[in-house]
A and B are shown apart, each in its own frame.
Chain A
Amino acid sequence: MSETRVMSVGATTPTVVACGADMFADAVADQAVEVERVDWRPPMPGTEADLARVATDPRRTEANRRAVEAMLGVTAHLVDVAPASEVLGLEKGQFLHAGPPIEWARTSGPLRGALMGGAALEGLVDDPEGAAALFESGSNVSLEPCHHRSAVGPMAGVVTPSMWMWVLEDRATGRRTYCSLNEGLGKVLRYGAYNDEVLTRLRWMGDVLGPLLQAAVRGTAEASDVTGILTQMLQMGDEAHNRNRAGTLMLLRDLSPAMVTAGFDGKDVADVLRFVGGNDHFFLNLAMPACKLALDAGRDVPGSTMVVAMARNGTDFGIQVSGTGDEWFTGPAQVAEGLFLGDYGPDDANPDIGDSAITETAGIGGFAMATAPAIVRLVGGSVPDALATTRRMHEITLAENPRWSVPVLEFQGTPTGIDVTKVCRTGILPQINTGMAGAVAGVGQVGAGLVTPPAEIFPKALAALAARVPAS
């Protein structure tokens, strides 16, 4: 093709992309020119003017490029394990929770259960049942989102000062993110259970698991590259939200030698190895802060339409966007569709809860469904559904992650960087894999499934982006 050609149509593979009336696409096809047809549909109601305003924001293209580049440039290393009181400065009576900010009066069952259990764990009350009055009074207790402290928490996401936290660091900048240790499945605090069994396990985690992991991490010469483990596990059938089996075992592979030689009691070491190895979700609590570390790098780029957090507190679903700072755009959390444990059914499930949607925000979890086809069966789907889901997420994202690739899709990178404008344009909502907590405090997990954010939060975020476009 000569440089002096007016356009490249008519080159060896002429192509027209037709968006709109079919008759024009037909007319081009009739001239033996290849046509790629856009399956265009009207955007979410009432968004046209905001979409046009944001689309023509001269900052947008470069801002999104910068946000994506910053996000993809982060490598998360596991550098420490330590109590929240030390690494987050959390004090007695301060509680972190999942999702956007919420006051006690609006909290859902599982968040209440977890807060009550947390209060008992910290010795604020003798009996968790007594904690409700404490939180109602509001005296000497405070609630704050994990996200406001560079942390993330799965499900209820309750963090108290004595809980041990994973500490992840981006060595290029020294930025850190934090997440609690995973308790396993069933009756666990993060699903809102708070009985003796739950509290006993949490105490063991504080007394044995945390210190041993700290010794192991500090005693391991080469800090675990969590981003690198994610790269590998995505090629081993994990999508790193509802399936973390390979990641958990790779973490054990990294830490086991130092655990064994750390000088701890042999029975404790064996208990820890059994606990970690027997909990397929153990790595989730590393995947999440690794995703947050990457996404935080993409925050606060004026003009960027990239979502940097999706989080739920069991009542509200909230998103934050790079170009709109710390503002949360919220709507009612939805109930997941999926399969239920035992006799539980949809009526027993609480609306969506947890910071774990940070994985989807970073392009894995539901977005990497194609690499973990088993997960799609949670809603009675099939392998083609899994492939279709990941492909569909490419319609609403800004980039592909060159490190996190999906073998079955010819090693295409995972769909990365949810674009508020594309969600509003297509009406395609982010697909989130999730566990389901019982609606009643104390019940625990009742199932697992798939969920999407409430659609209305994206037009809200779009309107805020449009309002910030500088006058031309």
Chain B
Amino acid sequence: MKDHVELRSGAYADSVTLLQVSRAVQATPGVLAAQVAMATGLNLEVLEGMGFDVPDSSPNDMVVALRLDDDADVAAALAAVDAALTPTRPTSGDTTVAPPRTTGSALRRSGSGAIALVSVPGASATVEAMDALEAGHDVMVFSDNVPVAEEVALKTYAAGRGALVMGPDCGTAVVDGVGLGFANAVRPGRIGIVAASGTGCQQLLALLHHAGATHDEVGVRWALGVGGRDLSSAVGGTSTREALRRLDADPDVDLVVVVSKPPAPEVASDLTSYVDTLGTPVELGLLGRGQRDLTAVAEAVLARLGHDAPQWPVHGAHNTGPATGPLLRGLFVGGTLCDESMLMATDVLSPVRSNIPLSPDLALAPNERGDLLGDGHSFVDFGDDALTQGRAHPMIDPTLRNEQLARAAADPSTGVVLLDLVLGHGAEPDPAALLAPAIAAARSDRPVPVIVSLVGTDLDPQGLDAQCDALVAAGAEVHLSNAAATRRALDLIGSQA
């Protein structure tokens, strides 16, 4: 063991640096102890305590004190001191700006005017949405499973500040032509949509886009989702009114369409009164027994703008033969599309059971096979909360529906299968590539008619024509209008009976 102590006059480093230098040198092979420090009284005490003999010094001297193995090289240890004292150069590029961890933090960075899009798990969605409202921003809440009390709290807060809450459980919005969530790419025009229904909104977008190919003003620049519960008694239509107020105030909006699943009667009544106070004409497309289907609503919009309804496109009708059994099986990813079809079917068939039944007595009871088909006419919404827990939405993960499609086709009582497929931003890049083989397989043993509502536009990233062609090649009959597809399926079942 040998000690080496030297003074370096005029050398200076702050105490923190020197503590670090000491630690680095201590890690050098052959070094038993090391203390590099300015020769202050305190440090001299520490050095003495360690057993070093320090020559006379002033506090402006740097002391390098090393205790080494007998055979260690002093020069090597001193080189380690020098290396540790040499400041390291900062790396180029700013690696110190981490991404924001909350919606509030992100909004502070993005500046005014940004819109927040929240799609975290429902238990955390309210907190993120409140960040946006507090900072004076509008927010779209895609998340579902948000308690209704929290929805009311969010919307009450927003109403006090003139902010708009789109959601919770808002799947679709088009904001100045930009699609948020699951939204179709559309040509902007002079129509605004207020939607308490995601796929209902998408159906309107697709139909109006198709009809607008030859009329410039027939197009949608704004489709403001409000969440499926907005027109319930608990929520009372707060967001619907705010969305209507904004669209009414925009001189570039000539006509507003409201689309919703069946609303609470008193809320519908209030809404009708509110609409009467607006200067912009409003077409109310509220689904329900005895109400118009979405295609009829689109046609009414066209009529208001002075246009005849086009022939809604159908492809692959040649694939479809007679129904192969008495029962209609609807397997949907879009909740509102499922509702619309059920409402139409209920006028013709009875009973129509579902996991999202029109009335509680029509709930789909599990059958003895343990599948989701039931023993009669049935409509399954695979996007329902109960079926998406722990898995992705069926627009992203079609596994569950494809399984049920195979079962439906194998069931000899199945006469017609009715499906939907939704394109647009946020959806699978090539959903037909997943559905078409399942359709082909389903029809391989017997030619069960498969009728598909393909909700999309020619501007959607997936390409409407290519998706349609793949489905037709697999043996499906493809409609743009879900109502038309449903009517076709009902006709086939009716002819069979």
Contacts and interface: CB of A to CB of B under 8 A. Distances in A.
Given A6-B247, A185-B42, A13 B127 contact: no
A347 interface: no
B103 A6 contact: no
B49 interface: yes
Nearest to B47: A342
A52 B137 CA distance: 19
Contact of A13 (B113, B121, B426): B113
A31 interface: yes
Interface stretch (B17-25, B209-217, B336-344, B369-377): B17-25
Given A8-B113, A20-B117, A21-B119, A384 B178 contact: no
Interface in B19-35: 19-20, 22-23, 33, 35
Interface string A2-19: 001111111101111111
Interface stretch (A262-270, A313-321, A375-383): A375-383
Nearest to B164: A7
Contact of B116 (A17, A31, A391, A428): A17
Contacts of B180: 16, 24, 27-28
B273 interface: no
A383 B117 CA distance: 35
A472 B234 CA distance: 14
Contacts of A58: 153, 157
Interface in B156-192: 157, 164, 175-181, 183, 185, 192
Contact of B250 (A6, A27, A30, A382): A6
A185 B14 CA distance: 15
A42 interface: yes
A39 B176 contact: no
Interface string A70-114: 000000000000000000000000000000000000000000000
Contacts of A342: 35, 46-47, 49-50
A340 B22 CA distance: 10
Given A6-B222, A425-B127, A11 B113 contact: yes
Chain A contact-residue range equals 35 or more
Given A39-B101, A382-B90, A17 B110 contact: yes
Contacts of B95: 384, 388
Interface stretch (A43-51, A202-210, A282-290): A43-51
Contacts of A30: 425, 461
Interface string B90-131: 110011111111111111011111111111110110111010
B488 to A, nearest CB: 32
Chain B interface, >50% SS class: mixed
A11 B121 CA distance: 30
A387 interface: yes
Contacts of A17: 103, 106-107, 110, 114-117, 132, 137
A426 interface: yes
A380 B96 CA distance: 16
A38 B101 contact: yes
Nearest to A379: B20
Given A17-B132, A55-B126, A422 B102 contact: yes
B249 interface: yes
A30 B116 CA distance: 17
B124 A42 contact: yes
Most buried by A among B130, B149, B224, B251: B130
A172 interface: no
Nearest to A185: B42
Contacts of A23: 396, 426
A392 B147 CA distance: 31
B150 interface: yes
A16 B334 CA distance: 25
Given A6-B250, A19-B120, A342-B35, A380 B20 contact: yes
A33 interface: yes
B116 A425 contact: no
Contact of A426 (B102, B149, B164): B102
A17 B137 CA distance: 10
Contacts of B293: none
Given A9-B178, A33-B178, A43-B124, A395 B102 contact: yes
Contacts of B116: 16-19
Contacts, number: 235
Contacts of B226: none
A14 B192 contact: no
B379 interface: no
Contacts of A185: 42
B134 interface: yes
Nearest to A8: B113
Contact of A388 (B96, B112, B113, B164): B96
Contacts of B132: 17
B46 A39 contact: no
A303 to B, nearest CB: 13
B294 to A, nearest CB: 23
Contact of A395 (B49, B101, B124, B179): B101
B60 to A, nearest CB: 13
B461 A388 contact: no
A214 to B, nearest CB: 27
B477 interface: no
Contact of A382 (B88, B134, B137): B88
A353 to B, nearest CB: 20
B114 A15 contact: yes
Contacts of B22: 339
Nearest to B114: A15
B138 interface: yes
B102 A343 contact: no
B96 A24 contact: no
A10 B98 contact: no
B150 A56 contact: yes
Contact of B111 (A13, A391, A472): A13
B64 to A, nearest CB: 15
B181 to A, nearest CB: 6
A377 B17 contact: yes
Contacts of A382: 88, 90
A37 B88 contact: no
Contacts of B109: 36
A447 B15 CA distance: 11
Nearest to A52: B126
B124 A48 contact: yes
Contact of A4 (B112, B181, B183, B250): B250
A421 interface: yes
A455 interface: no
Contacts of B113: 1, 8-9, 11, 13-15
A185 B224 CA distance: 64
B246 interface: yes
Contacts of B42: 185-186
24 contacts: A4-B251, A6-B192, A6-B224, A9-B175, A10-B177, A17-B106, A19-B103, A19-B116, A20-B118, A24-B119, A24-B142, A36-B107, A40-B124, A49-B123, A52-B126, A55-B130, A58-B153, A339-B19, A378-B19, A378-B20, A388-B95, A388-B96, A395-B100, A425-B101
Given A28-B117, A48-B124, 19 more contacts: A1-B113, A10-B177, A17-B110, A27-B183, A28-B180, A38-B103, A40-B128, A52-B126, A52-B147, A52-B150, A56-B154, A185-B42, A339-B23, A342-B50, A383-B90, A384-B94, A422-B104, A448-B19, A472-B153
Q: Considering the complex of A and B, which 9 residue pairs feature the smallest CB-CB distances, nearest first? A: A20-B119, A10-B176, A8-B113, A56-B153, A339-B19, A387-B96, A27-B425, A48-B123, A15-B114
